[in-house]
Structures are given as C-alpha cells and as structure tokens.
A and B are shown apart, each in its own frame.
Chain A
Amino acid sequence: MSRNAKVIDIAKDFTRYPAGRLKTDGPYSGEAFRQNVLVPALKARTPVIVALDGPLGYGSSFLEEAFGGLVRVEGFTPEQVLTLLEFRSSDSSLKAEITSYINDARQQH
C-alpha cells in the first residue's frame, strides 16, 4: 500500500459506537459510513487504509452494508474495493469477515 494512502480511523473519523444497517436505523449505521466516509475516499481512486481497532465492536449488518454495499449499491467491483482498501485490525477474523461481504456482494449485485 502506498505511503500516500489516506487513513480512515473509524473510531476517530466516524464513531466508537457503530451500529445498524441503514441511515434510518441510526446516525452511525453502515450506510452512513459508506456514503459519508468510504465512497468519497474511494472516488479519489487513491489507496485507503481503514483502521478498525477502537470501536467496541461491529455488527454484521453494519459491516455488510458499509463494505458489501460498495459493490451491491455503489457499483464498485470486489477487485477495485480490495485493491483500494487495506484493513488494519488486531482481529484477523474481522478482516476476513469484511472481505467475505465484499466478495459475496458480487453475486447479489
């Protein structure tokens, strides 16, 4: 990943308490994170590091809507997303879960 990559620290740049799928679920939903933070960063076509440590946890609804939604809703391909995004977390299972949502979203697109 390039040294010029943009870093998105979810706890600092979004919230320590992510929850919910859609904006109608709450202010810190996966959809809000995708639309307000991820998509603007990805549209610059520069690499993005997503720092996942910090929040208390992530529900599957939040993760799928935020990251799977990049493919399912925003029209990116899984390859584009996985090339542009790098995930940093002390929890390897979390990175694997996010990757699976991105790849699975292709089938639903």
Chain B
Amino acid sequence: MFGRGRHDEVVKFIADLRTKVLIQGKRVRIDFSHTKKMVSCGTLLFFAELRRIKSLVQDATMLSCKRPKDQTVIEVLQHLEILDMLGTRSGSKPSRQDVVTWQVACGDQTDAQEIGMILEGLRDVSKLPEAVAKRLYTSITEALTNVTQHAYIKSRKDGVSQQLDKGWWMFFRETKDRLDIAVCDLGIGISETLPMTQTEFLIDPLFRAAQLIGLRGKDNIDARLIKAALEFKRSRTGQDHRGKGLPQIVSTAEEVDGSRLYIFSNAGCYTIGSDRHPPDFTRGYKRSILGTLILWSLPIDGWMEAVT
C-alpha cells in the first residue's frame, strides 16, 4: 500500500464498499475471483472495515462474495473468517504456513490479555526471547492505549451516520527471523486528534510549519503532521505524563538495524527503514484511509542485540 497506485486502488475499493452498504443501503457482492495476492496492510484495513460494516448493519445478507480461484487467497479469507462473514462456506481448514502463522487480535479497549497470550504462545513454541516479548508487549499496549484514548474522540469523516466509538484490529506473525505486526484503528487519524489532544501543538512551530509546507508542497498535510506529531511528542518525553505510545515504537524501530516501520494515517504516511527511501520519509496520497495503520517489521536477532 506504500505505492501511490496500490494505495489508491485499495482505499477506493474500501470506501466504495462502505458507501454502498452503510450510506446507500445497497447489497454488495464482493468478487474475489480475480484476486491473486493479499498483502498484510491492505488486508488488515479491509478486514477491519468489513468487521465494522458487519457490526453496523443488521441484515446479514447485505454482503456476499464470489469465491477466489487462487488457493492462497481462499486460505487467507478462510483464516480470517472473511468467507464466513460474507455468508460463503469456507470448506477445508487453511494449512499454508504463510497463511496460518498470521495471528489475529482485535478489541474495543486496551485489554491486552489476547496480545499477551499470543506473545507467551510464541515464547513457548518458538522460544521468542523474553526481553523481546516484553518490549513488544509494552510497545503494542502503549499504542493501543493511544487508540483507546484519542482515535475516536469525534466522528469519522466518512458520511456514515452510525459510528463505532472504539476498536482496533491487529495481525501478528513470527517467521524464522522476523516479527511482523500490523495494527489499525478506524478513528479520525493523527492529523485530527493531535490539535484536540495536545493543545500546545496548535502554537508549536512544527505544527505551523507543517500546515504551511503541507498546503504548498508535494506531500499533503497529513503526512507532514505524522512526522511533526512524532517530533513534538518525542521532544516532550520525560517532561509530561502522557503520550509515549507511538514514540516508543519509533524509538525501538530506530534502535534495531533492519527494522521497517510505516505509519499510515488519513492521507499520509511516515516511514523509517524502508529500503528505497531515506529515514523520516513522508508521502501523501490522494485518498484517506480514515484512520491509522501501523506496519512494523523487525529482525529478531537485531532486536535481541538492542534490548540486551
């Protein structure tokens, strides 16, 4: 989803789905027959939005689907119970390792039992080092605390009259040498929450600069504001008792060689550790995801060196 073309396609598809079902009240049949690949970030966003739509519509028959032809795509949709959500028989249980190793957690609050149990399970099965599991648990729960406190403080700008007042969704995978985490909320995004939750930010030079540059530059204001928000919050770490969640993740990502971190929020993205872009790279998009999506990939060995 980092590329502008793919980002636009995925976000438009999700927006069309939301608009047709929740605003126009139309029945929708999703055609997966030409789907060849499902990438974690776009899949998580689709999964979260689908769960949200299903929770807001009473009629279970509003959504249906045409089954995929690709066997891996079938297994992804089975594993995430998306076929069940769309009223289609899921058939045999998924078995591909690149599918079933993805674990799913979601919730309304920062109730971390599910996340803690996933991490403890990894420690038992794959011997994930305790120091890594602790750091990961701390970073994720802080990020979810931010979501619970800030992401849903006003209505999402999607034109939908019914609104969820909370919610987060997470995918988690450990492969031989890496941890991959994707977590998202469908709230109002960093650019909307920041001036409301950090009132000092309104007079901060970074914010004012972001407004000015964002309005004029190639990147949009949402991308600039993600970066400005991180800088602002990190400059206050140790001076204030609030808001250490996202900076903690960014700091960890910066400490560990080989880390990749993407923070998508509304129509912007901020990234660290991309192979093709410099650190602190920002990018703006035509369409907003209407929420925040964090992708974080870390090499386990590199992390062990950083935390021990």
Complex: A36 Cα to B245 Cα, angstroms: 25
CB distance from B66 to the nearest CB of A (A): 39
B174 at the interface (CB under 8 A from A): no
Tell me whether A61 and B111 are in contact (CB under 8 A).
Answer: no
Which segment, of B54-62, B139-147, B271-279, faces chain A? B139-147
Q: CA A57 – CA B140 in complex, angstroms?
A: 11
Q: Which residues of A contact B283 (CB under 8 A)?
A: none
The distance from the CB of B169 to the nearest CB of chain A, in whole angstroms, is 16
22 of the cross-chain contacts (CB-CB < 8 Å) are A17-B112, A18-B112, A19-B112, A19-B145, A20-B109, A20-B110, A22-B149, A24-B149, A26-B111, A26-B148, A28-B111, A28-B112, A56-B119, A57-B133, A59-B141, A59-B142, A60-B244, A61-B142, A64-B241, A68-B241, A105-B241, A108-B241
Closest to A105 in B: B241
Give the chain A neighbours of B245 by CB distance below 8 A. 59, 61
Smallest CB-CB A-B distances: 9 pairs? A20-B110, A19-B112, A19-B141, A26-B109, A57-B137, A17-B116, A57-B134, A26-B110, A57-B138
Chain B residues within 8 Å of A, Cβ to Cβ: 109-113, 115-116, 119-120, 133-135, 137-138, 141-142, 144-145, 148-149, 238, 241-242, 244-245, 248
Q: Which of A25, A72, A104 contacts B110 (CB 8 A)?
A: A25
Inter-chain contacts of A105 with B (CB < 8 A):
241
Chain A: interface size category: 20 to 34
Across-interface contacts of B144 in A (CB, < 8 A): 19-20
Contact A58 B138 (CB under 8 A): yes
Which residue of B is nearest A69, CB measured?
Answer: B241
Contacting pair B244 A61 (CB below 8 A): yes
Task: Kindly list chain B residues whose C-beta atoms are within 8 Å of the C-beta of A34.
Answer: none
Least CB distance, A72 to chain B, in whole angstroms = 7
In the complex, chain B residues whose CB is within 8 Å of the CB of A27: 109, 111
